[in-house]
Amino acid sequence: MSLPESAPATLAPAPAPIIDAKDAANGVVAALVAYLLWGFLPLLLHPLSEAGAVLVVAERTVYSLILLAIVLAITGKFGEVRAFLRDGRKVRVLALSSVLLAGNWLLYVYAVDANELLQASFGYFINPLVNIAIGMVFLGERQNKWQTVSIGIAVIAIGIQAAALGSVPYISLGLAISFGLYGYFRKTAMLGPATGLFAETLMIAPVALAYIGYNLVTVGVGVHSDPTMLLLLVLTGPATAVPLLLFAFAVQRLRLTTIGMFQYLAPSIQFLIAVFLFHEEMNATRLVSFALIWLSLMVFSWDSFRRRPRAVAA
């Protein structure tokens, strides 16, 4: 799963621009659709478990690249990609973000295949708090009292989740950390969402194509012989690119605080799908861990909302 990268949570926000009411309404619709698509993505990935996580990610990469190339051709933004490729520093940074993105996709698809969607949901719930930690480590940011409280509650929740699983929740932590680091490095490249994602998929496309070729040689046509499976594989491209483009549209028309409130929609939908459709185990201990992470996010969101008027007025 490729969710939107979030700004480091403790950065002081810039003065809020004046947002037209119609633009804001369009932004809300775009954000809502984007997060709904991310939330329901497991329904597309689950039937593809026969293909295997690696092949799904490889084909997701190729079909995303094709769709993004069409978008860039229509919008005339290939010049941005050429300019980017001449900047060695940006190429190195984006190469690292590409690896993190591919790893995040692979881990998420594996979680769906392995009936561990609850772990994936938990991972994206703790992602905003991981962003705070990344800001502290890489940017020297200091958290305030309520952020400290929210992080403390989250640490307890992770401990309880580990107790419920009988092991460290590697999928949850892996998704949260890989996506948090991806967002951090991705921002330093200073590329637009469509241009940046195209450049990233372009970098990992050779590996993806090589694996697809290897799979065809060693396994044969396999799942590609089934028209339904082939269609689902093709749809992983739009399922990756379209929500990101909608999100980029929304970000330009909404306050970051408003966008922040939407980010819990996708993992909430995934949680419900895991419990009621995929019938993953939800025991009392695991439920307590989710209740605590929800409490942690309530504290975090309340603090962000509380500080917003002061920042805007400043």
Cα–Cα distance for residue pair 128/6, rounded to 1 Å: 8
Tokens of residue 240, six digits: 């990756």
Using the predicted structure, report yes or no on whether residue 13 has a pLDDT greater than 50. no
Asked which of 7-11, 120-124, 221-225 is least confident by mean pLDDT, the reply is 7-11
More confident residue, 160 or 258: 160
More confident residue, 98 or 187: 98
Tell me the H-state helices in 46-87: 53-75, 78-85
Q: Is the pTM of this model over 0.75?
A: yes
Secondary structure letter of residue 280 according to DSSP: -
Using the predicted structure, report yes or no on whether residue 310 has a pLDDT greater than 60. no
Using the predicted structure, report yes or no on whether residue 292 has a pLDDT greater than 50. yes
Region class of 140: left (phi > 0), else alpha (psi between -120 and 50), else beta: left
- For residue 257, what pLDDT is reported? 61
| Tens-digit pLDDT profile for residues 109-167 | 999 999 999 999 999 998 888 877 887 888 777 778 888 888 899 889 999 988 888 88
Tokens of residue 108, six digits: 């998420």
CA distances from residue 67 to 5, 60, 170, 262, 307 in whole angstroms, order as listed: 20, 11, 32, 25, 40
- For residue 7, what pLDDT is reported? 40
Contact 148, 27 (CB under 8 A): no
| Tens-digit pLDDT profile for residues 37-82 | 999 999 999 999 999 999 999 999 999 999 999 999 999 989 888 8
- For residue 61, what pLDDT is reported? 96
b (16+ CB within 10 A) / e for 214-247: ebeeeeeeebbeeeebeebbbebbbbbbbbbbbb
